[in-house]
Structure 1
């Protein structure tokens, strides 16, 4: 088997580093040779890997490349963790593992390290001169960026092929890369719950139905909608305690507390907690609200944690959440989410047997769907499909350069397919690329 170079954050703080540790360990258990390259561009701190190559060690990386290694890049929307990918992926082409479908934050970190003056021109080059960049009148900046310049069109063409974690945006990705796009469900293991004393258990318990939102608290997790849904029915106001568990800004916390207080909702903003307490909060929760709008990721760790924990899970019926079978979660229509959320919580209160059975079935499905073994099988199958990646990616890059040079929109699939099919015959391929791949 060929040597695999697995490019990933290695910092213990990174969720993708934790994912990568599971995958690399599984590769090793299969006697696969793997070298880990750190993509962190900020201080790593404590690393999850005892041995790795820094992304700045280009000489060592080139030696791996010259030895015929296959490069696999984990691509996430955080420049501090993934900036190293951008430093080496053009020199050493490979497969992109796309953890997100929205990459503006990664782009902004990268362009800031070069020159912010180029920001607007760069976006206009990719999305057209009419792209709406003025944010002064925009109410939801994230939704605006997701709709108008998600930067998927910037990052995807840098890779020969893509592994994504759901069907969401897969078709869009296929129009941006030369090779295949494979949807492989994210591998994940729920946090291990440590044994607790009776007094500890009491601190997490409640005589009310506990509904929780987990992870970094922000507007696209629809926390305010959950509060409004609880406030919409006396039954829910009397019987539901709503926990928000995860990092949160002080200003957003104050906003949520004021809203809940005014509506008579029992809200507990827990904030960031240890992994042990996180697992305890998950265990005490009856209903997990795993909502996103707009969706920005190709998979959700919180969703998988909830399913693996056997919880009744409420999800927005968009993005990667739509991949979960309808009978294993309660899908909330985005256009009517307050009423949908109220329905889901009432269902848990009035039909606890339904919640229990659904949770058990969801756990069984998740254990198979999100297993490490199945994920590595998917990666290996993808590598077999896209074995000849080096020469093809050079041709792909130069094809896109040609499109720019002759002012053809590279999202024009008909023109793009024609050029890709015939580009090997173009004598200009012997010349170095000067325009760049965007």
Structure 2
């Protein structure tokens, strides 16, 4: 087999994207979706493998900045559109693309790469670790009530066209961004992704709807959602499917959830992507009837260990030497001394001192955003303690007061 791995040319995008669609089952996106992804594709960061004139593998990256503990926005490659044709599996094409891509990310000076995985088992061998989780909710609003904080009745709610409200919703997102590790800062054009609404994707539900929360004329929150009418012999049992709920203060947040619970002719509110520490869990009367589910979400790869560890802050002082294993990016392998002071600021550099902890770069990535404790990884045998007390010291330092979360896919 003779194949060629190279950067995508803009004129080849349609064929390249069609190969991606075929690898994901052959269901074609709507013209609106294809136009959006074509406009967002960074061609110089997109790779393809050609077998003759056929595209048989794809991989791309978006230029993001990722919020990390402490509020810094760190340059990160948002890895996306990865596929290998079913006719060309197990020939090393994915490995060759991951190799080229991580080399390119390093050359660009980005200390992190991130992705969401259709099959999570694939990416661990390339050093990615599942660093955030997402919570799903399916709430029986006939039996679950909300207790809302003072000031909720003072929030004004109004419907708005999603496309016309996109800028206001983006403003809310940007104000919340640095307070949530795992949230990406996007470039121009990404606000469109939240409002592209092809009829083929609605599965019998309404078009996308939007409600804004306002106080003194200022937008302080927003929700986007769809309503699916359902009727049985007893009457209406409609379903509200929530895309997003965001607000700048507790009263506005509660007002939006109360609105979603109270939509006429519905009895279920479903939200598929919420943070594990979502405040709505403390507003509901019966959390058992919220049918909670958890799954992995953002996978993180430390491309430059020293720069990545210095970019975030830490919750407690620490001085630990990490023996890092990284076969795929060997420039990371070896001993690193991480020192964090009482302010949370850190330095991280090479050292010959004896190691306190031994772990692979995958475990380091899993703990990086503070959502998985070093203690739990050690209990699974994924981190080895070489100095007594080092696991607990590192676990406290790496922890985050806020659960990391990816609010938007890419």
What TM-score do the two structures reach when normalised by structure 2?
Answer: 0.29
What TM-score do the two structures reach when normalised by structure 1?
Answer: 0.27
Structure 1 or 2: larger helix share? 1
- The answer to which structure, 1 or 2, has the higher relative contact order (CA under 8 A, 6+ apart) is 2
